[in-house]
Structure 1
Amino acid sequence: MATPRTRTRPTVNSDMGEGIGLHRFGNDPELLQVVDLANVACGFHAGDPDIMSATVAAAVAHGVRIGAHPSLPDQWGFGRRAMVLTPEEVESLVRYQVGALTGFLLQHGAELHHLKPHGSLYGMVAKDPALMESVAAVAADYGVAVLGMAGTAHETVCAERGVPFVAELYVDLDYNPEGGLIIQRTPHATDPNAAAERVAQALQQGTVRAQDGTELPMRFESVCVHSEPPGRRRSPGRCGRRSTPTSPPADPAEDPEDHPSEPAAPTERTDMAEIQSPLPGVFYRRPSPDKDPFVQDGERVEAGQVIGLIEVMKQFSEVQAESAGTLEGFRIDDGDMVHPGDVIAVVAES
């Protein structure tokens, strides 16, 4: 078992284990190399017994502390749709999911480190002290901290009950003018530079900029990066931690004087066409596991030619090339989760 990381600067936490069955979401293996805390899905919005066990084992191997990430019972909506619940119902939901995770912690010789509600449950208990009382009660029973937003019921209820509280800063979710999070049903890509700038501003000035430009006061001890949105492999590194990008960054145009015998490389290819995902799902390059890929890197494709399939709820949709040319390469691995607009492959038009 690796030794848990200790840091005097803010920790980095990420939501993990957010898959189900054969479907995997996010970049957990890469993020486990750079984060301090893993918030593990407990089965209600994502996660299943095998994924929970594997995620806990991987976190233990990397010395990452593990927290429970309980959700509303809404796999279809990924826990991002609010529900009308009583405090008793919230406590039962949270206690049930934390109990499931602790079984796998026991299996792999780890301890529960913290508790952090997911999605709409996170927002609901931030606004409603009675509901937050239920979350704090479970955290108190396990003797662990709660991760949440400063200045909300997350913090005030924990203070009243003597439950340790860790305030968070989000780099990949926007804030509204009131300081609340804007949670989208479909996550968007985050510019790593913008993420780094937000952390720098929060550290240096104690503020973040809301979506409308309002400057908001911000106290935090941990930085949250989400695992599932596009571009997430790069964000933690830009926030001050090392990271493994999906692919090497493009080199800037070189000075021809540095290499007089070689022409300077062009900075942009104007004849390249991206094939983007039209919908969320799991991308496959083969019509079935025992078949060859629809197309290989370097092969010519015609407009309308099928290059892969996207599976959504056991239904398959074709991904087609929009123009003729040479397939320069895939940007998504076989079996990866994709979101609308993700670049699947690039074609050199001809």
Structure 2
Amino acid sequence: MTNNHHFTQNPPQRFIDLNCDFGEGYGAYTFGQDAALLAHVTSVNIACGLHAGDPHTMRKAVEMAASAGAAIGAHPGLPDRLGFGRREMAVSAEEVFDLTLYQIGALDAFARAAGSSLRHVKPHGALYHMAGRSAELADAFVRAVKAFHPSLMIYGQWASELLNAADRHGLRKVSEVFADRSYQTDGHLTPRHLPGATLSSSEEALRQTIGMVARGTVRTIGGADIAIQGDTVCLHGDGPRAAEFAAALREGLEAAGIGVRPPQ
């Protein structure tokens, strides 16, 4: 007798988005491992030309992401190419609004030309952390996104002012946690200049990520467990082993019964 029953693995009970920073080259200089990352991530945050990127790299990044089926997000930063947007600047709320709107519009032009569209906006580097702490700057950032199109999602750090501002303005928020950065007891990332700020192995990154997604906790650099909630996991695309980390994260999450897909 022929057995016509097909047994398949149970579908995942939970899902998470895996995002990375993308398109951070400039001119003749390439940066990051964009092509290799696209095999594993589900969303990309594309540099918009101020902290990194230029019109050519923006177009290429959008075309690559669209071809791979990755959700495309704008990654506006401070106008500090020399410091890669990771140095804080004394910008006003009005300047944050204008810088944000300007950069979203630039990337959206390339997305439209490629027959695609933007799904989210995530501030880069110092702007990310400044808008995470300051209600005034967070409000300016979210107002700029809303002015461009209120359907765009806001990617921001768990429990940050940026996500609070998204709530106030009625935009969908996506709480972000980090696979390859360590946490402090107050829930903030360990500053990059301190030892242990970046996790050194893909095994560590996977262990931390599964803990955050499956259990809602993360072990801090001091050894304490704190509560955390994430809808998307960020992997920094500029690390020397970024593609290796991305592959390990995707494989490990799916093996743990956690599906990987963009926010629905």
Bucket of the pairwise TM-score, normalised by the shorter protein: 0.7 to 0.9
Which amino acid letter does the alignment assign opposite residue 235 of structure 1? F
Aligned twin of 1:213: 223
Q: What is the RMSD computed on CA atoms of the aligned residues? A: 2.0
Look up the equivalent residue of 1:109 and give its one-letter code.
Answer: G
The structure richer in helix per residue is: 2
TM-score (norm 1): 0.65
CA pair 189-169 structure 1, distance change in 2 beyond 3 A: closer
Query: What corresponds to 1:222 in structure 2?
Result: 232
- Work out the CA distance in 2 between the residues paired with 1:14 and 1:236: 9
Is the 1:225–1:232 Cα contact (8 Å) retained in structure 2?
yes
Deviations 1:254-305 (A, max 9, x none): xxxxxxxxxxxxxxxxxxxxxxxxxxxxxxxxxxxxxxxxxxxxxxxxxxxx
Q: Is 2:245 the counterpart of 1:239?
A: no
- Give the distance between the partners of 2:198 and 2:212, measured in 1 at CA: 22
1:170 and 2:178 correspond: yes
The within-5 A match list for 1:16-31 is: 16-31=22-37
CA contact (8 A) 1:146 1:166 kept: yes
Superposition deviation, residue 188 in structure 1: 5.3
Return the alpha-carbon distance in structure 2 between the equivalents of residues 208 and 184 of structure 1. Answer: 18
Greater strand proportion:
1
184-193 or 115-124: which moved more? 184-193
Deviation at 1:107, TM superposition (A): 1.0
Equivalent-residue separation in structure 2 for 1:65 and 1:183 (angstroms): 28
Distance in 1 separating the partners of 2:200 and 2:156: 21
* Number of residue equivalences: 237
Say whether residues 1:192 and 2:198 are aligned partners: no
What are the within-5 Å matches in structure 2 for residues 45-56 of structure 1?
A: 45-56=51-62
Q: 1:17 touches 1:40 (CA, 8 Å); kept in 2? A: yes
Check whether the contact 2:62–2:111 (CA below 8 A) recurs between aligned residues: yes
- The CA distance in 2 between the partners of 1:189 and 1:56, in whole Å, is 29
User: Where do 4+ consecutive residues of structure 1 move more than 2 Å?
Assistant: 182-190
- Structure 1 spans left out of the alignment, 5+ residues: 1-6, 243-350
Quick check: 1:129–1:153 contact (8 Å CA) kept in 2? yes
Give percent identity, aligned residues only. Answer: 33
Q: Which moved more, 1:85-94 or 1:203-212?
A: 203-212
Aligned match for 1:148, one of 146, 156, 163: 156
Match of 2:218, SS state, is strand
Q: Secondary structure at the match of 1:240?
A: helix
Write the distance in 1 (CA, Å) between the matches of 2:203 and 2:62: 31
Structure 2 unaligned regions, length at least 5: 1-12, 253-264
- Name the residue aligned to 1:57: 63
Alpha-carbon offset, residue 184 of structure 1: 2.2
Whole-angstrom distance in 1 between the partners of 2:199 and 2:208: 15
Maintained 8 Å contact 1:80/1:185: no
Deviation (angstroms), 1:116:
0.1
TM-score when normalising by structure 2: 0.85
User: Offset at 1:71?
Assistant: 0.3
Shift of 1:134: 1.1
SS in 2 for 1:35: coil
Which structure has the greater CA radius of gyration?
1
Deviations 1:189-244 (A, max 9, x none): 630000110012113321111222232211011111011112111112222348xx
